[in-house]
């Protein structure tokens, strides 16, 4: 009998606050381009006061992946924490409305921390620089993990950014144990090179002991394995987990399993905002995988979905991804 879920994701629940800015705004405000920085409430308030008019769109890395999977028609659920405030309700609405199950109770309205948000600054080159106030999202712990849900999923998808919370390691361990108890498989995304720097040993141990499928980009892969070339890093990684799916920017993605390497080319598009490109790549890849596609096809599905996301502002799909796959004969 097939499991209820094909993929269950665990991550930081974030509402993105997206605005265009010039490069000078980044340098004037000490923002490192292209990466994610964690910020506290004071910094969040200061930065928000200085940035331009914005739009708010539900985000969060694993949440974007799960929303993407739901949009593709996968049976999927998401686990992550928001508060019972306006942004929390927006987050919960958006992921459910996309078709994913989302049952984590809202943190009460009188909780100290608010729903997490990320000020995403998009420069004219379409690069995004992320400034994240985690808020209540940080407090997701083992009590929030529904073991029955994890056991009833073919895959779990773990967000690397979640390694930053105190209780997250125990939460991940509980989810992994439940999932593996029913022969479910574990995927992990490395999320960000600086996140890798902060948690390299914990990542490494999880990859070796549990991860079947590792998502990353080339910078994260280099940060993780610190070899002289990307190839050498990937070689090291596939000794430790079965499949590595590594995006390589405008060249697409490399998928490695054992001695095999597949190259999925990027799909040409006008690039407006790269926010969420890696997240939706993972969604397309996993969607292929749970539907029995070969690894090259999985990589291509990831690249097709990524091309849609980067062609507009925001990290959630606007076009019908199922139609896009169909148009490519997939």
Residues binding its own copies (CB under 8 A): 20, 48-49, 51-58, 67, 85-87, 90, 93-95, 97-98, 114-115, 313-314, 316, 318
Give whichever of 36 and 70 is closer to its own copies, judged by the CB atom.
70
Token pair in block for residue 313: 């502002």
Give whichever of 96 and 204 is closer to its own copies, judged by the CB atom.
96
Q: How far is the CB of 57 from its own copies (least distance, A)?
A: 5
Cβ pair 130, 15 in contact under 8 A: no
Least Cα distance to 267 among 188, 208, 325, 203 occurs for 325
Q: How far is the CB of 95 from its own copies (least distance, A)?
A: 8
d(CA 262, CA 277): 19
Give whichever of 75 and 199 is closer to its own copies, judged by the CB atom.
75
H runs (alpha helix) in 73-167: 86-97, 147-151
Contacts of 302 (CB under 8 A, 6+ apart): 245, 247, 253, 264, 280, 281, 282, 283, 284, 285, 288
Q: How far is the CB of 113 from its own copies (least distance, A)?
A: 13
Give whichever of 19 and 330 is closer to its own copies, judged by the CB atom.
19
Q: How far is the CB of 178 from its own copies (least distance, A)?
A: 28
Q: How far is the CB of 71 from its own copies (least distance, A)?
A: 9
Q: How far is the CB of 313 from its own copies (least distance, A)?
A: 8
Give whichever of 239 and 322 is closer to its own copies, judged by the CB atom.
322
Least Cα distance to 187 among 325, 288, 317, 300 occurs for 288
- Secondary structure (3-state) at 210: coil
Residue 132, class by beta-carbon neighbours within 10 Å (0-12 exposed, 13-18 middle, 19+ buried)? Answer: buried
Q: How far is the CB of 19 from its own copies (least distance, A)?
A: 8
Pairing of strands 55-58, 14-20: antiparallel
Q: How many residues does the chain have?
A: 330
């Amino acid at each position: 009998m097939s499991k209820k879920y094909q993929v269950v994701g665990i991550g930081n629940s974030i509402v993105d606050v997206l605005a265009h800015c010039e490069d000078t705004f980044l340098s004037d405000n000490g923002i490192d381009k292209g990466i994610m920085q964690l910020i506290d409430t004071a910094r969040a308030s200061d930065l928000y006061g200085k940035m331009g008019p914005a739009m708010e769109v539900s985000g969060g890395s694993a949440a974007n992946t799960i929303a993407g999977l739901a949009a593709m028609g996968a049976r999927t659920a998401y686990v992550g924490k928001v508060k019972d405030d306006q942004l929390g309700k927006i987050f919960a609405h958006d992921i459910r409305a996309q078709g994913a199950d989302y049952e984590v109770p809202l943190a009460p309205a009188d909780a100290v921390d608010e729903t997490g948000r990320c000020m995403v600054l998009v420069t004219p080159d379409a690069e995004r620089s992320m400034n994240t106030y985690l808020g209540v999202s940080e407090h997701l712990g083992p009590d929030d993990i529904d073991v029955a849900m994890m056991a009833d999923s073919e895959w779990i998808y773990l967000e690397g950014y979640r390694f930053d919370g105190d209780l997250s390691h125990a939460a991940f361990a509980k989810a992994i144990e439940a999932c593996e108890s029913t022969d479910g498989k574990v995927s992990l995304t490395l999320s960000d090179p600086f996140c890798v720097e902060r948690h390299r040993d914990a990542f490494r141990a999880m990859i070796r002991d549990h991860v079947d499928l590792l998502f990353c980009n080339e910078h994260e892969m280099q940060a993780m394995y610190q070899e002289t070339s990307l190839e050498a890093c990937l070689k090291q990684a596939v000794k430790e987990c079965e499949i590595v799916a590594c995006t390589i920017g405008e060249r697409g993605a490399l998928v490695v399993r054992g001695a095999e390497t597949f190259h999925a080319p990027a799909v040409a598009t006008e690039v407006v905002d790269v926010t969420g490109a890696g997240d939706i790549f993972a969604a397309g890849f996993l969607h292929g995988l749970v539907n029995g596609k070969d690894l090259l096809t999985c990589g291509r599905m990831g690249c097709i979905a990524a091309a849609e996301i980067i062609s507009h502002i925001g990290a959630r799909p606007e076009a019908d991804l199922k139609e896009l796959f169909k148009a490519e004969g997939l």
